Amino acid sequence: MRSGVKFSLLKIGARGKFFSGAWLFSFFCLLFTILAMSSSGFCSPGARVSGTQSAEPAAELVSLPPPRYDSQFSVEKALKTRQSVREYRDSPLTLAEVSQILWAAQGFTRERKEPPSRWNPKYEWQGGLRTAPSAGALYPLEIYFLAGKVDGLPGGLYKYWPRQHALKKVTDADKRKELCQAALNQPQVEKAPAVIVMAAVYERTSYKYGERAERYVHMEAGSIAENIYLQATALGLGTVFIGAFSDPDVKKVLALPADEFPLVIMPLGQRPAPLEKK
């Protein structure tokens, strides 16, 4: 009897070792699989943090024509002839013009894979340096494009994605009238074929610079606006810097995320034909 019990216990012990070894082997295989999937991006969270531009499926983006990096129109000439334009021809913009303007505003100029020092981990690093200077290369400005009359681009509100040099549609609705009302009924906002709106994500800059972030963000908005002015001048287009508007109303019209705040409105269109000399 005792020998039978001893034999049974030996069998159970051996079987326990077998099951324990098999369980450990299965556990490590599962762990290896999870790590491999995570490193390849399959387990990356798909949710978008407010103000963050994460990777978007190509099908959801509207690709823009490649920007050009040279022209016969000099910087000096653009500086000399630049002016604020509040009236525009009743003709559509081309997609090439839109592409060039948006690249001038926030397009990539060179790659930089590693994020800058003290980058706010709440946001995704886009991986490149841009056309306008930014304190600490933190790029807190988001560019929205309201299309009314643009050849090859359905009307609606879009957001510019610098990494892909593309537009992501926010809504099909033409918000120019509502935006005009939010901008104290300045008629050029509604009549322009397109409107650019800059929105600030202060958290990207305040994470590193604290209380000085606000002034740095506003400096950057001015740099972007001048880029748009000069590029528009070189293309024969007109624009004007608008800062008079109701912040809450603009935020509501564009349905901006909680951490994005409107700073600048810039209508865009072809300059009116010059008066004929008699």
Q: What is the pLDDT along the chain (278 residues), one digit of tens a residue?
A: 444 434 343 343 444 443 445 444 454 444 444 444 444 333 333 333 445 555 555 558 999 999 999 999 999 999 999 999 999 999 999 999 999 999 999 999 999 989 999 999 999 999 999 999 999 999 999 999 999 999 999 999 999 999 999 999 999 999 999 999 999 999 999 999 999 999 999 999 999 999 999 999 999 999 999 999 999 999 999 999 999 999 999 999 999 999 999 999 999 999 997 744 44
- List CB contacts of 251: < 8 A, sequence separation 6 or more: 260, 261, 262
- List the structure tokens of 45: 């969270």
Please list the residues that pair with 115 across neighbouring strands.
Answer: none
Could you state, in order of their start, the residue ranges of all structural domains in the chain? Answer: 1-44, 58-270
Contact 190, 63 (CB under 8 A): no
Contact 202, 221 (CB under 8 A): no
Q: Rounded to whole angstroms, how far apart are CA atoms 44 and 188?
A: 44
What is the sign, positive or negative, of the torsion defined by CA atoms of 128, 133, 136, 138? Answer: negative
Q: Rounded to whole angstroms, how far apart are CA atoms 70 and 113?
A: 26
Write down the pLDDT at residue 273: 76
Residue 66 CB coordination number (10 Å): 11
Task: Answer whether CATH 3.90.1150.10 is correct for domain 58-270.
Answer: no
Half-sphere exposure of 17 (CA within 13 A, CB side): 5
Q: Rounded to whole angstroms, how far apart are CA atoms 163 and 54?
A: 10
Nearest to 88, CA basis, from 239, 273, 270: 270
Angle, helix 202-209 to helix 213-234, in steps of 10 degrees: 130
Write down the pLDDT at residue 56: 58
Longest dimension (CA), the chain: 127
- List the structure tokens of 142: 């988001």
Read off the DSSP letter of residue 123: S
Q: In what order do the strands lie in the sheet with 156-161?
A: 61-63, 166-171, 156-161, 141-147, 194-200, 261-270, 237-239
Q: Rounded to whole angstroms, how far apart are CA atoms 39 and 51?
A: 24
Q: Rounded to whole angstroms, how far apart are CA atoms 56 and 203?
A: 22
